[in-house]
């Protein structure tokens, strides 16, 4: 087995965020793959032969290019577009890695495809190299960044109290998080307690996305102040930022933070805020029909 397989794949253009449409895969491609879930394993061939599906490379670039003895496989996720010949808008909870279960991405045919965490598969690097001769297509740069965050977020999930999620759910329903956060790399949340309670002290900030123009910071800060004010207005939720912050640990926390303003000690006080708990009960399967 050649140890240079990873480098060969990388040099051919296979990097995180590249993809193939499943209609272009060899007929027997599924026999070289294995699924991460039992449900997918039982219908892998059907999923990979669906003309509305695409196969998106999830593996990090370092793992793709790694020597075979150190990393033998590639990780992909199956994504699928809606039926019909006219592109439809994505579902807002499936954008920007808000949900760790689903992610919608626009591909080169101008349709939105929904990737599902339950439809992740692996294939041996050598088998993939032998089977695939097509040149890969690649997601837009911003979509590649979102895909990387989505993949990472699957390993960083934190269960928030149901009572907190219930209090926040009206804001989600009113789509306050739907627009204006394009330049937020992530949202970070601190609660005074992660146990069930009727009252919470809430601290929240958005990390300005790496690579975003400097001028977008002020717009992001204004959006985050709006969000914090809305949270503060909910009964049982209190945001010290809007009054006098008395905890010196959080005195330098503002609604939007530049990367240069955030250190590890501060991040240790926060959790990355995903929206799975809300999307699970708010139809985040929308945007894709339910047939398999």
pLDDT, tens digit (0-9, with 9 covering 90-100), for 32-60: 888 866 667 778 888 898 999 999 999 98
Which tokens hold the place of 243? 């009054």
As a whole number, mean pLDDT of residues 21-37 equals: 87
pLDDT for the residue 266: 86
Is residue 286's pLDDT more than 70?
A: no
Give the span between the Cα atoms of 224 and 188, in whole angstroms.
11
Number of C-beta neighbours around residue 103 at 10 A: 27
Give the span between the Cα atoms of 114 and 179, in whole angstroms.
19
276 forms beta bridges with none
What does pTM read for this prediction? Answer: 0.62
Is residue 180's pLDDT more than 80?
A: yes
Which tokens hold the place of 115? 């990737």
- Residue with structure tokens 């209090």? 167
pLDDT for the residue 158: 61
pLDDT single digits (tens) 106-149 = 999 999 999 998 899 999 999 999 999 889 999 999 899 889 88
Most confident of the following: 173-177, 252-256, 275-279: 252-256
């Amino acid at each position: 087995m050649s140890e240079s397989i990873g480098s060969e794949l990388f040099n051919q253009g296979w990097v995180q965020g590249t993809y193939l449409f499943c209609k272009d895969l060899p007929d027997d491609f599924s026999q070289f793959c294995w699924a991460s879930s039992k449900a997918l394993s039982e219908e892998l061939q059907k999923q990979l032969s669906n003309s509305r599906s695409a196969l998106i490379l999830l593996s990090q670039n370092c793992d793709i290019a790694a020597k075979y003895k150190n990393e033998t496989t590639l990780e992909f996720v199956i994504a699928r577009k809606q039926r019909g010949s006219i592109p439809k808008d994505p579902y807002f909870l499936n954008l920007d890695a808000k949900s760790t279960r689903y992610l919608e991405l626009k591909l080169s045919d101008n349709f939105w495809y929904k990737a599902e965490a339950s439809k992740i598969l692996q294939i041996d690097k050598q088998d993939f190299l032998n089977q695939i001769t097509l040149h890969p297509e690649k997601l837009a740069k911003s979509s590649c960044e979102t895909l990387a965050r989505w993949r990472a977020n699957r390993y960083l999930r934190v269960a928030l109290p149901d009572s907190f999620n219930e209090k926040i759910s009206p804001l989600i329903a009113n789509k306050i998080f739907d627009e204006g956060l394009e330049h937020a790399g992530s949202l970070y949340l601190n609660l005074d307690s992660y146990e069930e309670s009727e009252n919470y002290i809430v601290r929240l900030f958005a990390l300005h996305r790496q690579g975003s123009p400097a001028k977008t910071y002020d717009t992001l800060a204004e959006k985050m102040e709006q969000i914090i004010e809305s949270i503060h207005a909910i009964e049982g939720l209190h945001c010290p930022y809007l009054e006098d912050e008395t905890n010196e640990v959080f005195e330098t926390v503002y609604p939007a933070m530049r990367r240069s303003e955030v250190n590890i000690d501060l991040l240790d006080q926060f959790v990355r805020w995903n929206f799975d708990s809300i999307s699970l009960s708010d139809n985040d399967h929308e945007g894709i029909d339910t047939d398999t």
